[in-house]
Protein backbone atom coordinates (compact mmCIF):
# COMPACT_ATOMS: atom_id res chain seq x y z
CA UNK A 1 0.00 0.00 0.00
CA UNK A 2 1.37 3.37 -1.06
CA UNK A 3 1.35 5.89 1.71
CA UNK A 4 0.22 9.42 0.74
CA UNK A 5 2.98 11.96 0.66
CA UNK A 6 2.91 14.58 3.34
CA UNK A 7 2.17 18.01 2.02
CA UNK A 8 4.96 20.50 2.57
CA UNK A 9 4.19 23.03 5.26
CA UNK A 10 3.97 26.50 3.83
CA UNK A 11 5.69 29.15 5.84
CA UNK A 12 3.99 32.37 6.49
CA UNK A 13 5.48 35.25 4.51
CA UNK A 14 7.81 37.36 6.58
CA UNK A 15 6.76 40.97 6.81
CA UNK A 16 9.68 43.28 6.40
CA UNK A 17 8.70 46.70 7.65
CA UNK A 18 10.86 49.55 6.55
CA UNK A 19 12.46 51.71 9.23
CA UNK A 20 10.75 54.99 10.01
CA UNK A 21 13.68 56.97 8.62
CA UNK A 22 13.33 55.26 5.23
CA UNK A 23 9.58 55.85 5.21
CA UNK A 24 10.13 59.55 5.96
CA UNK A 25 12.77 59.74 3.22
CA UNK A 26 10.40 58.23 0.65
CA UNK A 27 7.63 60.60 1.71
CA UNK A 28 9.90 63.62 1.34
CA UNK A 29 11.13 62.30 -2.01
CA UNK A 30 7.57 61.97 -3.32
CA UNK A 31 6.77 65.50 -2.20
CA UNK A 32 9.90 66.95 -3.79
CA UNK A 33 9.25 65.04 -7.01
CA UNK A 34 5.67 66.26 -7.18
CA UNK A 35 6.68 69.89 -6.59
CA UNK A 36 9.46 69.66 -9.17
CA UNK A 37 7.16 68.11 -11.77
CA UNK A 38 4.58 70.82 -11.08
CA UNK A 39 7.16 73.59 -11.50
CA UNK A 40 8.63 72.18 -14.70
CA UNK A 41 5.20 71.43 -16.13
CA UNK A 42 4.09 75.01 -15.59
CA UNK A 43 7.31 76.49 -17.00
CA UNK A 44 7.27 74.38 -20.17
CA UNK A 45 3.55 74.78 -20.82
CA UNK A 46 2.47 71.24 -19.98
CA UNK A 47 -0.06 72.69 -17.54
CA UNK A 48 -1.62 76.15 -17.64
CA UNK A 49 0.14 78.31 -15.02
CA UNK A 50 -2.78 80.74 -14.95
CA UNK A 51 -5.16 78.15 -13.50
CA UNK A 52 -2.63 75.95 -11.67
CA UNK A 53 0.05 78.52 -10.84
CA UNK A 54 3.51 77.14 -9.97
CA UNK A 55 5.37 76.38 -6.72
CA UNK A 56 7.81 79.29 -7.11
CA UNK A 57 4.97 81.82 -7.47
CA UNK A 58 3.11 80.21 -4.57
CA UNK A 59 6.21 80.46 -2.39
CA UNK A 60 6.66 84.16 -3.19
CA UNK A 61 2.98 84.82 -2.47
CA UNK A 62 3.29 82.88 0.79
CA UNK A 63 6.17 85.07 1.92
CA UNK A 64 4.12 88.19 1.21
CA UNK A 65 1.07 86.66 2.90
CA UNK A 66 2.96 86.00 6.13
CA UNK A 67 5.07 89.16 6.18
CA UNK A 68 2.66 91.79 4.87
CA UNK A 69 -0.79 90.20 5.00
CA UNK A 70 -3.19 89.08 7.73
CA UNK A 71 -1.96 85.49 7.82
CA UNK A 72 -1.78 85.08 11.59
CA UNK A 73 -5.10 86.88 12.13
CA UNK A 74 -6.84 84.59 9.63
CA UNK A 75 -5.23 81.45 11.03
CA UNK A 76 -6.13 82.39 14.60
CA UNK A 77 -9.72 83.16 13.59
CA UNK A 78 -10.22 79.81 11.86
CA UNK A 79 -8.42 77.98 14.67
CA UNK A 80 -10.58 79.52 17.40
CA UNK A 81 -13.88 78.90 15.65
CA UNK A 82 -12.92 75.30 14.89
CA UNK A 83 -11.83 74.46 18.44
CA UNK A 84 -14.83 76.16 20.05
CA UNK A 85 -17.24 74.38 17.72
CA UNK A 86 -15.45 71.09 18.33
CA UNK A 87 -15.54 71.29 22.13
CA UNK A 88 -19.06 72.74 22.38
CA UNK A 89 -20.57 70.33 19.86
CA UNK A 90 -18.82 67.26 21.26
CA UNK A 91 -19.65 68.10 24.88
CA UNK A 92 -23.29 69.07 24.33
CA UNK A 93 -23.93 66.18 21.94
CA UNK A 94 -22.38 63.64 24.29
CA UNK A 95 -24.41 64.88 27.26
CA UNK A 96 -27.58 64.92 25.18
CA UNK A 97 -27.03 61.37 23.98
CA UNK A 98 -26.30 60.07 27.47
CA UNK A 99 -29.38 61.86 28.83
CA UNK A 100 -31.54 59.46 26.80
CA UNK A 101 -30.67 56.77 29.34
CA UNK A 102 -32.82 58.45 31.98
CA UNK A 103 -36.12 57.89 30.19
CA UNK A 104 -37.06 55.64 27.31
CA UNK A 105 -40.08 57.82 26.58
CA UNK A 106 -37.87 60.89 26.40
CA UNK A 107 -35.50 59.05 24.06
CA UNK A 108 -38.35 57.90 21.82
CA UNK A 109 -39.71 61.45 21.64
CA UNK A 110 -36.38 63.05 20.80
CA UNK A 111 -34.96 60.39 18.48
CA UNK A 112 -36.97 61.38 15.33
CA UNK A 113 -35.87 65.00 15.74
CA UNK A 114 -32.23 64.00 16.10
CA UNK A 115 -32.43 61.79 13.01
CA UNK A 116 -34.16 64.57 11.08
CA UNK A 117 -31.43 67.01 12.09
CA UNK A 118 -28.80 64.48 11.03
CA UNK A 119 -30.35 64.03 7.56
CA UNK A 120 -30.78 67.78 7.10
CA UNK A 121 -27.97 69.40 5.07
CA UNK A 122 -26.78 71.67 7.86
CA UNK A 123 -24.45 73.57 5.57
CA UNK A 124 -27.54 74.83 3.75
CA UNK A 125 -28.51 76.62 6.96
CA UNK A 126 -25.23 78.55 6.98
CA UNK A 127 -26.73 81.76 5.46
CA UNK A 128 -29.52 81.72 8.06
CA UNK A 129 -27.04 81.16 10.89
CA UNK A 130 -24.95 84.07 9.60
CA UNK A 131 -28.04 86.30 9.64
CA UNK A 132 -28.89 85.28 13.22
CA UNK A 133 -25.41 85.31 14.77
CA UNK A 134 -23.76 87.94 12.56
CA UNK A 135 -20.51 87.93 10.59
CA UNK A 136 -18.23 87.48 13.61
CA UNK A 137 -16.85 84.46 15.40
CA UNK A 138 -20.20 83.37 16.87
CA UNK A 139 -21.72 82.33 13.55
CA UNK A 140 -18.69 80.21 12.60
CA UNK A 141 -18.76 78.50 15.99
CA UNK A 142 -22.50 77.87 15.59
CA UNK A 143 -22.04 76.15 12.22
CA UNK A 144 -19.13 74.05 13.52
CA UNK A 145 -21.20 73.12 16.58
CA UNK A 146 -24.15 72.10 14.43
CA UNK A 147 -22.00 69.69 12.44
CA UNK A 148 -20.48 68.01 15.49
CA UNK A 149 -23.50 68.04 17.80
CA UNK A 150 -25.62 65.44 16.02
CA UNK A 151 -22.76 63.01 15.44
CA UNK A 152 -21.81 63.16 19.11
CA UNK A 153 -25.43 62.71 20.18
CA UNK A 154 -26.02 59.62 18.05
CA UNK A 155 -22.69 58.06 19.02
CA UNK A 156 -23.14 58.54 22.76
CA UNK A 157 -26.72 57.27 22.49
CA UNK A 158 -25.36 54.13 20.82
CA UNK A 159 -23.05 53.80 23.81
CA UNK A 160 -26.02 54.10 26.15
CA UNK A 161 -27.85 51.33 24.29
CA UNK A 162 -24.78 49.10 24.55
CA UNK A 163 -24.65 49.30 28.37
CA UNK A 164 -24.80 45.82 29.91
CA UNK A 165 -28.27 45.37 31.38
CA UNK A 166 -27.04 42.67 33.76
CA UNK A 167 -24.51 45.07 35.27
CA UNK A 168 -27.22 47.69 35.56
CA UNK A 169 -29.45 45.27 37.47
CA UNK A 170 -26.48 44.32 39.66
CA UNK A 171 -25.92 47.96 40.58
CA UNK A 172 -29.56 48.35 41.59
CA UNK A 173 -29.49 45.09 43.57
CA UNK A 174 -26.57 46.47 45.58
CA UNK A 175 -28.61 49.54 46.50
CA UNK A 176 -27.21 52.07 44.02
CA UNK A 177 -29.30 55.09 43.10
CA UNK A 178 -30.06 56.08 39.48
CA UNK A 179 -27.49 58.85 39.68
CA UNK A 180 -24.85 56.41 40.92
CA UNK A 181 -25.67 53.97 38.12
CA UNK A 182 -25.40 56.82 35.62
CA UNK A 183 -22.08 58.15 36.90
CA UNK A 184 -20.45 54.82 37.75
CA UNK A 185 -21.71 52.64 34.90
CA UNK A 186 -23.35 54.54 32.03
CA UNK A 187 -20.87 57.39 31.69
CA UNK A 188 -17.72 55.17 31.82
CA UNK A 189 -19.35 52.84 29.26
CA UNK A 190 -20.04 55.75 26.89
CA UNK A 191 -16.60 57.37 27.11
CA UNK A 192 -14.93 54.94 24.63
CA UNK A 193 -17.73 55.66 22.16
CA UNK A 194 -17.23 59.40 22.56
CA UNK A 195 -13.46 59.11 22.19
CA UNK A 196 -13.90 57.21 18.93
CA UNK A 197 -15.51 60.22 17.21
CA UNK A 198 -13.04 62.91 18.27
CA UNK A 199 -11.04 62.70 15.03
CA UNK A 200 -14.23 62.83 12.96
CA UNK A 201 -15.55 65.80 14.88
CA UNK A 202 -12.41 67.90 14.47
CA UNK A 203 -12.73 67.53 10.71
CA UNK A 204 -16.43 68.40 10.80
CA UNK A 205 -15.77 71.44 12.98
CA UNK A 206 -13.12 72.70 10.57
CA UNK A 207 -15.51 72.18 7.66
CA UNK A 208 -18.22 74.16 9.41
CA UNK A 209 -15.86 77.03 10.22
CA UNK A 210 -14.61 77.25 6.61
CA UNK A 211 -18.13 77.15 5.17
CA UNK A 212 -19.17 79.95 7.52
CA UNK A 213 -16.22 82.00 6.31
CA UNK A 214 -17.18 81.29 2.71
CA UNK A 215 -20.69 82.65 3.27
CA UNK A 216 -19.72 85.84 5.08
CA UNK A 217 -16.74 86.76 7.22
CA UNK A 218 -14.19 89.47 7.83
CA UNK A 219 -11.37 87.10 8.73
CA UNK A 220 -10.34 83.49 8.30
CA UNK A 221 -8.65 81.23 5.79
CA UNK A 222 -11.98 80.51 4.11
CA UNK A 223 -12.47 84.21 3.45
CA UNK A 224 -8.94 84.39 2.01
CA UNK A 225 -9.63 81.50 -0.37
CA UNK A 226 -12.94 83.04 -1.47
CA UNK A 227 -11.40 86.49 -2.02
CA UNK A 228 -8.42 85.10 -3.93
CA UNK A 229 -10.69 83.01 -6.14
CA UNK A 230 -12.89 85.97 -6.98
CA UNK A 231 -9.86 88.11 -7.90
CA UNK A 232 -8.11 85.27 -9.79
CA UNK A 233 -5.11 85.33 -7.45
CA UNK A 234 -4.47 81.61 -7.87
CA UNK A 235 -1.15 81.56 -5.95
CA UNK A 236 -2.92 83.05 -2.94
CA UNK A 237 -5.60 80.37 -3.19
CA UNK A 238 -2.91 77.69 -3.02
CA UNK A 239 -1.17 79.43 -0.13
CA UNK A 240 -4.41 79.50 1.90
CA UNK A 241 -5.16 75.88 0.98
CA UNK A 242 -1.71 74.71 2.07
CA UNK A 243 -1.94 76.67 5.32
CA UNK A 244 -5.38 75.21 5.93
CA UNK A 245 -4.04 71.70 5.27
CA UNK A 246 -1.21 72.25 7.75
CA UNK A 247 -3.64 73.58 10.34
CA UNK A 248 -5.94 70.60 9.89
CA UNK A 249 -3.02 68.18 10.29
CA UNK A 250 -1.90 69.92 13.49
CA UNK A 251 -5.39 69.70 14.97
CA UNK A 252 -5.84 66.10 13.83
CA UNK A 253 -2.56 65.00 15.41
CA UNK A 254 -3.41 66.91 18.61
CA UNK A 255 -6.78 65.18 18.83
CA UNK A 256 -5.10 61.83 18.15
CA UNK A 257 -2.76 62.39 21.12
CA UNK A 258 -5.76 63.44 23.23
CA UNK A 259 -7.51 60.23 22.22
CA UNK A 260 -4.50 58.12 23.25
CA UNK A 261 -4.28 59.96 26.57
CA UNK A 262 -7.96 59.39 27.33
CA UNK A 263 -7.76 55.72 26.35
CA UNK A 264 -4.79 55.20 28.67
CA UNK A 265 -6.80 56.84 31.45
CA UNK A 266 -9.66 54.42 30.85
CA UNK A 267 -7.36 51.38 30.81
CA UNK A 268 -5.58 52.37 34.01
Average pLDDT value over all residues in the chain: 85
The residues spanned by each domain of the chain are 21-52, 68-267
Helices then strands, counting H and E runs in the chain, come out as 13, 0
Alpha helices per DSSP H over 134-197: 137-161, 165-173, 178-181, 187-195
Question: Does 123 have pLDDT greater than 80?
Answer: no
CB 185 within 8 Å of CB 168: yes
How do residues 188-209 score in pLDDT, each as one tens digit? 888 888 888 888 899 899 988 9
3-state helix, strand, coil in the chain (%, to 5): 80, 0, 20
Q: How far apart are alpha carbons 207 and 82 in whole angstroms?
A: 8
pTM of the model: 0.82
How do residues 139-161 score in pLDDT, each as one tens digit? 899 989 988 998 899 899 888 88
pLDDT at position 11: 66
Q: How far apart are alpha carbons 209 and 43 in whole angstroms?
A: 36
Sign of CA dihedral 148, 80, 225, 127: positive
pLDDT at position 3: 55
pLDDT at position 267: 54
User: Mean of the pLDDT values across residues 162-170?
Assistant: 86
Of 142, 138, 145, residue with least CA distance to 94: 145
Of 221, 201, 202, residue with least CA distance to 211: 221
Greater pLDDT, 241 or 103 = 241
CATH topology of domain 68-267: MetI-like fold (1.10.3720)
User: Mean of the pLDDT values across residues 93-112?
Assistant: 87
Q: How far out from the chain centre does Cα 34 lie?
A: 26
Of 200, 213, 195, 194, residue with least CA distance to 80: 213
Q: How far out from the chain centre does Cα 179 lie?
A: 32
Percent of the chain at pLDDT exceeding 70: 93
Amino acid sequence: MIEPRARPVRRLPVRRDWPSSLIALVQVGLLVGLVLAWELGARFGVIDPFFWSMPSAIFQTGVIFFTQGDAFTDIAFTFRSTLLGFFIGTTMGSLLGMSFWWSRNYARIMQPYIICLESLPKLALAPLIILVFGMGLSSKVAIATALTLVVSTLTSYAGVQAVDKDQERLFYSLGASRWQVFTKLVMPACIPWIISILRVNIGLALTGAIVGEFVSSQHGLGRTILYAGQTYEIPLVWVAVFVLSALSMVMYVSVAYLEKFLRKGIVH
